[in-house]
Structure 1
Amino acid sequence: MRTFSSLTFLAALVLEDAIASPAQVPFTAELSKPRKLHGRFLHITDMHPDPYYTPKTSQSTACHRKKPKKKKQESLYYGTPYSECDSPFQLTNFTLDYLHDKWADEIDFVIWTGDNARHDNDRHVPRTPSEIYMLNREVAKKMRKHFSSKGIPVVPSLGNNDVWPHNILTPGPNSITNEFAQIWTSFIPFPYLQVFQRGAYYTVEVIPDEVAVISLNTMYFYDSNKVVSGCAFIEPNDPGNLQIDWVEVQLEMYRNRGMQVWMTGHVPPSADNYFPECYVRYVELSLRYQDTILGHLFGHMNVDHFFFLEAADLNIFPNLDSKTELKTESQSGFYKSILEEFSGLPKSPKMTDYAVVNVAPAVVPNPYVPAFRIFSYNITGGISNQEKPQIKKRKHGEHRTDRNHTASCESPEYRDTWQCHLDRPWNSDPSSPARTNQKWSPLGYAQYWMPKLGKADKKTPPQFELEYMTYPLELLHPAVAGPEASASGFVYPVPLPLLPESLRTPGVEKSKYAPYQMRDLTIPSWIRLGQRIADEKRRKLRKRFRKYMFLGGDEE
């Protein structure tokens, strides 16, 4: 067994950092100096640093010990791609240092969606709470050094492997929520510290008075957490219900202030992942505040994909267990289940009935290769035919009277479920940033990956490369983007030095880096992409989408 010396060294660093950290001060917009906005932010997830990772050991031991008989089963210096091994410190340190050197001066905030401890995949070396906390402290320290020290807000979320035992979190306050309140004390605004200690969720105004990020604790929604009641309607004090009640208050407050919100967390909201009642409440809340929510960003799955939250998910089908059906479909292949969902999109969908969830790939090369995303967003205002001012006061939407639950809700089976008690008006606005490209609208992302990780060693460090981007080529340069873009103050979606050489000058007609050609990441744009991928005639696009899902590897 490997010694614990590396952990002892890291613990010493953490203690030194804790002593040196400044005292927490109340967060207010007045105390925050105005920052020059770059119109970009980082989404990073699932680092899984492993203090026991040892190069040249067997993959069958989680890359912890024994020399394998076959060299192809041997662990590599910077990490082992397409394996079941977690990240060596060499990889996580390289990744965060790279982001600091290349991107820290180009982004406005960081969304960091959890899992900063190794998997519990080695019975010979079981995880402990102290190890989990130590790893999280060390990653948080580097986040403070690389980003917070530059005035860049960092918004972390709790992962299912950040708790012990993994997947299990009792209602707070508890030792885990209290510990992470200390670990993330510099990231959590002081007014939300008590809320965090109760439930490990909070919100940050990453652009004061304009844009906020709500960091969810998805452990209280996750159906693998067997010590909670799963948002049952008859259990109002269930921690999942309390969290959604709190989110509702935050969204209403931000809506009244004319602000926009990103929803983030670790486990994505799907019928496969969430308790049925938690899923229903999350979908309803997402659609009710569609005019306020910019998008939904999650990790956990390690698979690059997107999917839709739909009004149809709130319907009652008395003779069909939709959750069972979805799980059956997923067993036939995750890629196929996504195609089936896209194929179900109507030709002329009602935009008020949809929200979009984006799931980013992981840093850990388990089971694929490291990756991260840089999103861009509109900081200049409308670039359509006529600039649309941001709406500060919005009218209420209409009640959802098209879902007839009367007969089903009279039955004992459904009477005491959330589906029969969701009758609040939905706030829909066609000109909101989630629906129309205007100020604060998400515009696209560039995804960077490490395809040659397996060739890296002590002498040859790995390299991150652009895998693909969602933008059309003409939006990369001001001269090609049009007079509206130039007049409004063009912002490069990707800084030129961080593009491949072939994309640094205008005039490129086609490129392997631009498969989707999306002018923005509004809901209509995502629906159009889903419809295109669902088209069986678009075989090339489908092939590219599948390759990106599994980062060049095979579907598990």
Structure 2
Amino acid sequence: MLLTSVLVLLCAGLFDVSAAPQQVPIEVPAVAKPRKLHGRFLHITDMHPDPSYRAKTSDATACHRKKGKKKKNRAGYYGVPYSECDSPLRLTNLTLDFIEKKWASEIDFVIWTGDNARHDNDRKLPRTPAEIYDLNRAVASKMTAVFTSRGIPVVPSLGNNDVWPHNIMIPGPNSITNEFGSIWKAFIPFPHLQIFQRGAYYAVEVIPDSVAVISLNTMYFYDSNKAVGGCEFKDRDDAGNLQFDWLEVQLKGFRARGMQVWISGHVPPSPGNYFPECYVRYVELALRFQDTILGHLYGHMNADHFFFLEADDLDIVEPATSPLRGQQDLFETLLADFAAMPKAKVINLDEYAVINVSPSVVPNPYLPSFRVFSYNVTGAAITNLGRKHGHRRGKNKDKAAQCKLDAYRETWRCQLNEEWHSDADAPSRSNQLWTPLGYAQYYIPHLEDGNKTHKPSFKLEYVTYQPDALMGSEGVYPVPSKNLPSKVKKKHTPYGLEDLTVGAWVALARRMGNSKKLSSFFKTYMYMA
């Protein structure tokens, strides 16, 4: 690991001879003992460290060459906000050092959703597999030092820029699964190593016998990956189908044991990101196991937002719609979806799952960010879960007839008929033991002000909690007072959510779709304007 850190540092030196002092290599401190449960976890994503980043160069060259003619187009010491440049190593080090100092003693586990190599956006300096692996190995060493050495489980996922060429990954076992099996050996439980070799997916019991995190390899669902078949029903050995078959077994097993599960991955599940048949399988499993899944956490998009998977997505609709196919109109599309949310008196919450997409560490195209979730560790467990909600074929009255047609008969929409498991008393629906309660999001608002003598600092951007909740109850604080500003302002608490249950998210979406003020907050946080 030390050799990898040295290689990364040397790589930085070769391309940044003018930078002084040199970017600090990733270091590993001594091992510490495991700690008690705190009821918080970290979600961090899309670091994109770039060993070739050079301060004062032009952002037009991905901050690699030529001096920027104008100050606003010149690479900053710690990065360039709102640009296409990736993170200098000093920014990734700054981020993880800050988290180590402020949060390592306050969290129970880490969900880390990929992209730990630079983008391939410089034709004069193409990426190589060796560089990608070296960067991933170096960041993994830092994560081991900061978290694993303290007994904090870390659950990484493979990003679309963690492979070469980016977006392309053939079915495993292959060189990528072999390499990451080595890079992430400190994170992957031994019983999952064999399945990881096949597809780079696995599960970790972050709270033994109680809570697990399932890390998916979304490369096998991502429609930009032309090396896989796209989960077609007839191709049961497709890499995506094999992963969903495995996921179904995991969810059944965890449910049988009375456990709760977080689903994590890099590319979020949407019609604009996933192959159509992969999307259908994801939606069906998300709704079928709603009483077992606490939430779905993703990265990749770099914009802070949330959206819903709905039972209606399993209907046959022509022409197919792709509401999240890109960021240009993402806000408007989401707002329209929120405004169309059924009223509280008629909505059936069994038919919804919530996808949370976190913003990135890399300031491309916005500002460095991470978030810390809190969850209920004091409530009583509900032991009588197990009610079954009959399979819903959707509101499309013609679906039965459509499924008799050759065009649809052998599709997943017409083949998925398992009973769903949903319960209004499940932790995803009612505040109890393991229920997600909220999160605090941090960012660097003035990254451009950082220099050799002045480090930029992370600030609280906002929290989802009600203001009173930050005062704590029964000695439990969702955010430690040391990590809050001296004065929490209204802009820090615009959502006022009691928890992060499905119903709370649906109610927020409904409010947001009908409130210009609230939707303005949402847009500001999404684009960090």
How would you bin the TM-score normalised by the shorter chain?
Answer: over 0.9
Please name the residue that 2:150 is paired with: 150
CA spacing shift, 1:5–1:97, aligned 2, 3 Å: closer
Give, in whole Å, the separation in 2 of the partners of 1:215 and 1:72.
Answer: 39
Q: CA deviation at 1:502?
A: 1.0
CA spacing shift, 1:365–1:216, aligned 2, 3 Å: same
Give, in whole Å, the separation in 2 of the partners of 1:217 and 1:151.
Answer: 25
CA spacing shift, 1:84–1:442, aligned 2, 3 Å: same
Using the TM superposition, name which of 351-360 and 34-43 deviates more. 34-43
CA spacing shift, 1:188–1:21, aligned 2, 3 Å: farther
1:98 aligns with 2:69: no
Residues 11 and 52 in structure 2, CA contact (< 8 A), matched pair in contact too: no
Q: Which residues of 2 match residues 176-191 of structure 1 at below 5 A? A: 176-191=176-191
Please name the residue that 1:436 is paired with: 430
Per-residue CA deviations over 1:100-153 (Å, capped at 9, x if unaligned) read 111000000000000000000000000000000000000000000000000000
Give, in whole Å, the separation in 2 of the partners of 1:304 and 1:377.
Answer: 20
Please name the residue that 1:398 is paired with: 390
CA spacing shift, 1:92–1:402, aligned 2, 3 Å: closer
Residues 377 and 440 in structure 1, CA contact (< 8 A), matched pair in contact too: yes
Residue 524 (structure 2) aligned to one of 530, 547, 552: 547
Please name the residue that 1:141 is paired with: 141
Please name the residue that 2:192 is paired with: 192
Please name the residue that 2:464 is paired with: 470
Residues 374 and 446 in structure 1, CA contact (< 8 A), matched pair in contact too: yes
Q: CA deviation at 1:398?
A: 1.9
1:263 aligns with 2:263: yes
Q: CA deviation at 1:402?
A: 5.0
1:355 aligns with 2:347: no
Please name the residue that 2:20 is paired with: none
Please name the residue that 2:19 is paired with: none
| Structure 1: unaligned runs, 5 residues or longer | 23-32, 383-388, 479-484, 504-509
Per-residue CA deviations over 1:335-379 (Å, capped at 9, x if unaligned) read 101111112210131000000000000000011010000000000
Give, in whole Å, the separation in 2 of the partners of 1:466 and 1:153.
Answer: 25
SS at match of 1:501: coil
Give, in whole Å, the separation in 2 of the partners of 1:244 and 1:450.
Answer: 38
Per-residue CA deviations over 1:465-504 (Å, capped at 9, x if unaligned) read 00000000111114xxxxxx43xxx31000001101014x
Q: Alignment RMSD, CA only?
A: 2.2
Please name the residue that 1:27 is paired with: none
Give, in whole Å, the separation in 1 of the partners of 2:355 and 2:511.
Answer: 18
Q: CA deviation at 1:320?
A: 1.9
Please name the residue that 2:335 is paired with: 339
Residues 378 and 443 in structure 1, CA contact (< 8 A), matched pair in contact too: yes
SS at match of 1:267: coil
Give, in whole Å, the separation in 2 of the partners of 1:451 and 1:459.
Answer: 18
Residues 440 and 462 in structure 2, CA contact (< 8 A), matched pair in contact too: yes
Please name the residue that 2:450 is paired with: 456
Please name the residue that 1:279 is paired with: 279
Per-residue CA deviations over 1:204-246 (Å, capped at 9, x if unaligned) read 0000000000000000000000010000001000000000000
Residues 14 and 137 in structure 1, CA contact (< 8 A), matched pair in contact too: no
CA spacing shift, 1:527–1:369, aligned 2, 3 Å: same
Residue 427 (structure 1) aligned to one of 411, 421, 424: 421
Residue 511 (structure 1) aligned to one of 490, 497, 517: 490
Q: CA deviation at 1:69?
A: 2.1
| Structure 2: unaligned runs, 5 residues or longer | 1-6, 15-23
CA spacing shift, 1:461–1:14, aligned 2, 3 Å: closer
Please name the residue that 2:379 is paired with: 381
Q: Which residues of 2 match residues 44-443 of structure 1 at below 5 A? A: 44-317=44-317, 319-323=318-322, 327=325, 333-348=329-344, 349-381=347-379, 389-391=381-383, 394-400=386-392, 404=397, 405-443=399-437
Give, in whole Å, the separation in 2 of the partners of 1:391 and 1:397.
Answer: 18
Residues 314 and 394 in structure 2, CA contact (< 8 A), matched pair in contact too: no
Give, in whole Å, the separation in 2 of the partners of 1:99 and 1:252.
Answer: 35
1:530 aligns with 2:509: yes
SS at match of 2:388: coil
CA spacing shift, 1:214–1:477, aligned 2, 3 Å: same
Give, in whole Å, the separation in 1 of the partners of 2:212 and 2:94.
Answer: 29
Give, in whole Å, the separation in 2 of the partners of 1:455 and 1:71.
Answer: 12
Please name the residue that 2:477 is paired with: 492
Give, in whole Å, the separation in 1 of the partners of 2:513 and 2:8.
Answer: 52
Residues 50 and 86 in structure 1, CA contact (< 8 A), matched pair in contact too: yes
Give, in whole Å, the separation in 2 of the partners of 1:131 and 1:429.
Answer: 47
SS at match of 1:322: coil
**Which residue identity is paired with 1:400?**
R
Residues 14 and 134 in structure 1, CA contact (< 8 A), matched pair in contact too: no
The size of the alignment, in residue pairs, is 509
Q: CA deviation at 1:70?
A: 1.9
Q: CA deviation at 1:410?
A: 1.1
**Which residue identity is paired with 1:463?**
S
Give, in whole Å, the separation in 2 of the partners of 1:477 and 1:5.
Answer: 44
Please name the residue that 1:385 is paired with: none
Per-residue CA deviations over 1:3-27 (Å, capped at 9, x if unaligned) read x88345899x99998xx999xxxxx
Residues 258 and 392 in structure 1, CA contact (< 8 A), matched pair in contact too: no
CA spacing shift, 1:331–1:71, aligned 2, 3 Å: closer
Residues 306 and 359 in structure 1, CA contact (< 8 A), matched pair in contact too: yes
CA spacing shift, 1:5–1:186, aligned 2, 3 Å: closer
Give, in whole Å, the separation in 1 of the partners of 2:82 and 2:26.
Answer: 35
CA spacing shift, 1:98–1:342, aligned 2, 3 Å: same
Normalised by the length of structure 2, the TM-score is 0.93
Q: CA deviation at 1:540?
A: 1.4
1:6 aligns with 2:9: yes
Give, in whole Å, the separation in 2 of the partners of 1:332 and 1:126.
Answer: 27
Give, in whole Å, the separation in 2 of the partners of 1:378 and 1:71.
Answer: 47
Q: CA deviation at 1:391?
A: 2.1
Give, in whole Å, the separation in 2 of the partners of 1:7 and 1:162.
Answer: 20
Give, in whole Å, the separation in 2 of the partners of 1:331 and 1:493.
Answer: 31
